[in-house]
Structure 1
């Protein structure tokens, strides 16, 4: 258990280091508001070092927080900074543009968060369980390639190019379109997913001599619609991250954030907290041991939950970041709800 003075020193040390990037010494702490002698501060710093909460740099008498120190600060000492009215208006202006689909709003939020923080940002939309398949088209590209266009209510459009096996004819594709329109159009994605594994294989056996290839095409066409679309903003910001020290590390981390499955595993948390902060080893990935991931959830009325997140060095300014994320998620929720209402009204 830390004393109130030790907590005050640790809190100030973390704030100073995350703001300046410079190791913090006793004189800096005195000049910043710790009202005891330099000798007393040095003694307290030594105790905090023994607790594993700070560490001494080899080139300086100053200290920096350890990963354990950041964790203590986040859990016990941090207060989100209040975002200035000027910055709030700036965020509102960034959202003030025309959107043609909800996924454009979600993608844009990742770009905004990256711009505001200079870190790599992620955005994931509300849950897709109740979305319905409202349109389906096949567009021929050439003799052996087609583009499938899937339209989902709430403004989502997915397109995917796929190759046709030589054993599949044009007539087979036409039958496939009819089956989708007759049996899947208007159904929720969850129902479509279920029918693709139960009803549709039986239907295909009646209409096709080689139903396996056609079923594979069905799954290939709809695969993207079931993927949780995670938008990434500022991926190249990883290059300037203090947590990545060589090009090979950058390439590995960039590959990680480009892999939807791995990224989903990284971002999806089992906590119900609005804000979740994972630091260093808590990310369960050696590539990210010097980094932190801050995830914030948001609610969209009657549509479910989405999330935004920031990946950056462990010495990011957590209090400022949380203030920014709070304003941004409020704006994101508001714009999504407005767009959903527009879709509902236009359908009346």
Structure 2
């Protein structure tokens, strides 16, 4: 049996992404009062090299999100995606069907923009190319262009509005989905909703026909345990002076307590602290790979710190003299510091407002 990949696309898989089929259709809520006519269907999009790079960069950026599985009785999106991957001759026809379904499910006012449908190929492993389907809703963002000329020795600028402009800003991407119908990954869909993050809006979730693959509590525990296991494998030479495994796992726990939404980059930045930029970059990359292998990297969820067991929360130091120090979270946050004082000795300092005799 083939082992399914738990995480999102690895860095190598992202770098191998190549656009095969590509189209977008224009969503214009003001085009017609009839909902069925507010999509302007295109027959072809000519992408020049720079434009292809632009869209490929957007696709690589959004190759992450919360993991979902298709509902067994929801085939309205799954079946067209299966067809798109296997029948490139039906790509335009099916892309129209998908876009119309997306637009038709939105009952309120929808922002004007484009709905992108693309198939991309990527290397799962050496010699093993597979395909994915990308769906992206990008809002239209009017911008301005300018020109200037010399008028009697004075440089005078004139500005004009570019109405149908697509922004390179990540915030212009309102919704995205990466769909695997080849059973390479343990998930079927990675999805992101800018408005409802880290969740999905009801209509968008209905359009995708999915359910969360894993619960927030599971993802919270997995994120914390992954950091603990990774940190314990680090040697003294790999860490800053006076740092230890508890420092990393404690900061991971505090992040999960203090944040309402999990973001991979923010989480890694909170966990890895180092004044040496080269060592910091190495540690961040290592942790990212560990989180990817555990299926956490790129996921968006609401941390549930209460789901972490008391045993996993606890950090315990024991000195050779038999003194036991127990705490939760970041040791700096609880007023505890450790420092090397030479001759294989350590100094432990605890600052507190009160010392209670138990």
Task: Give the TM-score, by structure 2 length.
Answer: 0.21
Q: Which structure has more helix as a fraction of its residues?
A: 1
Task: Give the TM-score, by structure 1 length.
Answer: 0.21
Higher relative contact order (CA 8 A, sep 6+): 1
